[in-house]
Amino acid sequence: MCDTLFVPWHKTASSRNILAKNSDRDPNEPQYLLHIPATDHPAESRVHCTYIDVKQVPHTYSVILSKPSWIWGGEIGTNEFGVTIGNEAVWTRLDYGEPALLGMDLLRLGLERGKTAAEAMDQIVNLLETYGQGGNCAFTGEMFYHNVFLIADQIEGWVLETAGKFWAAEKISDIRTISNVMSVHKPTCLHPGAMEYAIEQGWYSREDPFDFADIFMDHRHTANMGGTLRARCTERILRSASAIGLNTVKRSLRSHNGHSPFTSANFSSPCMHASFIGDSQTTASLIAFLNGSHTMYWATGMSTPCIAPFQPFWFDAYAEELVFAYDQQETAMDAWLRRERINRAALQGKIDLLSYRAELEVLEKQFVQQASEVEQASRHQRQAVCDAIARQTSAFLDRWLKKAETRPEKPMGGESLQKVWNSLNNTLGANRTIAY
């Protein structure tokens, strides 16, 4: 489960398109930000993705990727031109097939090969039609699905929905939220064989309007995922602001949709907290104010955004404690696991959340002030601020972890919730598989 949102420039306080995402994955699955440098590749070379090889292109662009440790691709990412993509699972009427490209692989490939949102989308479509999508997407157990992508740059935004090798794309000009529910009803662009395939399956008659989402979606499975409720929640929060800025977007990503966080947040909660075995949890969050190569980002680098500090960075200026070098994935994993101790301590009742959140609010206001003062400054000045904020964040988290060491346990929730988290705690950090 995930929540991805787009806000067009004319609805924002900054006059910039905004793309943001909560990535909901296995609670024990590390997810961290990596910088992948631009690279020239030999002729006829191939690249190994999570499950299969695909033909490599002569040059790949530089990318910053929010990457689940064991997967080659990523959940959220951006490239040197400010093209930014978030993907989500959707369930369709088509079989999920043999291992091929994961949606996360397609996301990375699109960023590495597309200078604009439209180019990235074309790359994803071509790869989808050539190689297909499929394979287990779960850190533990099994989960199979197809994908929807929200793709944006400083000029435009697109929703690209897929079902097997079929796809439909819609150019978007208003607030849009996607939460594991297909929503492209009137495509701007469409796979040339999608309509005929639907007719052959008996799903569609030529006399009716062609609604890609309604025809290809597995409605029963989708209804159980809470996606419609999450999408309505984030959209409601966004539309409550006359001019949408960072605070409104953070509020939407941190919303529990009326549920009690940690103990009763469920599939209808944008800020997702695991509450049973096999449940998902928000393991990483990112916000992008799209401005080409000078796009400004805010990211957590940890789970559960309701208690995670959002730190700023730029593509050319970021703290190495937040965005790691590609060959430093072991270090990145350890950093995510250390930050995850905040969430586990909170669940054990070892953190005074009222005091923690009050301090976090003050800290984030300082971050916004610090970042705004250098937004138009040199790379060196922006880098210095990112480094300073990373140190402040580490000091804040370390101080609360130190407090947790001496605070008596008072676990949240009932016995069943405690059993879930005892099981998760026993295996946290055990799977250190990394895909390079």
Rounded CA separation 241/252 (Å): 11
Cβ neighbour number for residue 413 with a 10 Å cutoff: 18
In the numeric block, which tokens belong to residue 91? Answer: 């369930």
Hey, where are the domains in the chain?
Answer: 2-326
Contact 95, 62 (CB under 8 A): no
Cβ neighbour number for residue 47 with a 10 Å cutoff: 17
Exposure of 37 by Cβ count < 10 A (0-12 exposed, 13-18 middle, 19+ buried)?
exposed
Q: Please, what are the averages of pLDDT over each run of 10 residues along the chain (436 residues)?
A: 95 98 97 99 98 98 99 99 98 93 99 99 99 97 96 98 98 95 96 96 94 93 83 95 97 92 79 83 98 98 98 98 98 99 97 98 98 97 99 98 96 90 96 98
CA dihedral for 302, 305, 309, 310, sign (positive or negative) = positive
Contact 178, 150 (CB under 8 A): yes
In the numeric block, which tokens belong to residue 29? Answer: 């699955």
CATH pick for 2-326 out of 3.20.20.150, 3.60.60.10, 3.90.1150.10, 2.60.120.1440: 3.60.60.10
> What is the model's pLDDT at position 261?
82
Taking the CA of residue 214 as centre, how many other CA atoms within 13 Å lie in the half-sphere pointing to its CB? 9
> Is 2 labeled as catalytic in the residue annotation?
yes
Of the residues 2, 137, 271, 386, which is catalytic?
2
In the numeric block, which tokens belong to residue 59? Answer: 């040059």
pTM of the model: 0.97
